[in-house]
Structure 1
């Protein structure tokens, strides 16, 4: 019987190259969007350049719990689509601000789930890799101990899930089963299932 060669996992150098290529592709996709956006674990901010002669009344901005529409009346919308997750409409807002180069439409969205990174602003836009998000340490350290450990655990679990690996809870269960098996070698665990 011939040996079947299994594809090997990428070396750290290959992984770094793949990550760099993915990041470059992601940056190119994001730079083509007619807006820029940033997020924290709790909210999301969008900005778009607007001609200097535009006034607030010339804009069409509609923010709902699950969708966002924004643009200049009578022109192609800057953003229009379904949000990937719901928001608190009462805590979200938009402003039109004067800048050195014209005006800027700023939209602030308050996430309903304060423990979730968004892969995109609207579901029709290209996604970013949320596993590569590193929250600013100052922001994470601003949290009290209990909240911080919960956020860190959730970030770990999200990364594990996206890589197809067990979450911290599943790891704990597997560790407990392993210890129990070591303590009771006479028992057969071949049919054991977790729920």
Structure 2
């Protein structure tokens, strides 16, 4: 049932009318999607993930992305794949349940999108803590609380 609360659309970061990357998030992870030029394979890329920073590019060129994350990550639990012409990065959040306003620092989504993400993550937390209930049609009236800290924090972790 938790997949009913999975992100339904990706956020896009664009620069000069071009999509640089897309991203979405769950309680525990952040997913970043970068469209690759035709014919690029995993061995053509360099990907460097630290607890606070991401560097991605085509060897031997300068990085395409070279930015801090919006929060800290668990490096040992992060990985990347190339599928269907995209570089897919699965980034594990260091603080589970923390809603991120952006994937990479300085690329924040607007306040309405941030609140929608926070509401969905709060419902995802409820679903995780109470698996016998279906929260897929639940709605918040007003602002949703922070899912990481609400009512004493995430009890399921």
2:4 corresponds to which residue?
Answer: none
TM-score, with normalisation over the residues of structure 1? Answer: 0.53
Q: Unaligned regions of 5+ residues in structure 1, if any?
A: 1-26, 160-166, 170-195
Partner residue of 1:135? 120
Of 117, 127, 131, the residue aligned with 2:99 is 117
Higher relative strand content: 2
- Highest CA radius of gyration, 1 or 2? 1
2:51 equivalent to 1:65 = yes
Alignment RMSD (CA, Å): 3.3
Distance 1:112 1:57 in 2: 28
TM-score (normalizing by structure 2): 0.64
Report the alpha carbon displacement of residue 140 of structure 1 after superposing the two structures with TM: 4.3
Partner of 1:30: 13
Query: Secondary structure of the equivalent of 1:107?
Result: strand
What is the CA distance between 1:30 and its match in structure 2? 2.8
For 1:158 and 1:93, the matched residues in 2 are separated by 26
User: How many correspondences in the alignment?
Assistant: 125
Which of the pair is proportionally richer in helix? 1
Structure with greater contact order relative to length (CA < 8 Å, sep ≥ 6):
2
1:114-159 deviation line (CA, Å, top 9, x unaligned): 12111111213244432232317874453124xx9xxx9xx84449
SS at match of 2:77: strand
Quote the Cα distance in structure 1 between the aligned partners of 2:87 and 2:25. Answer: 16
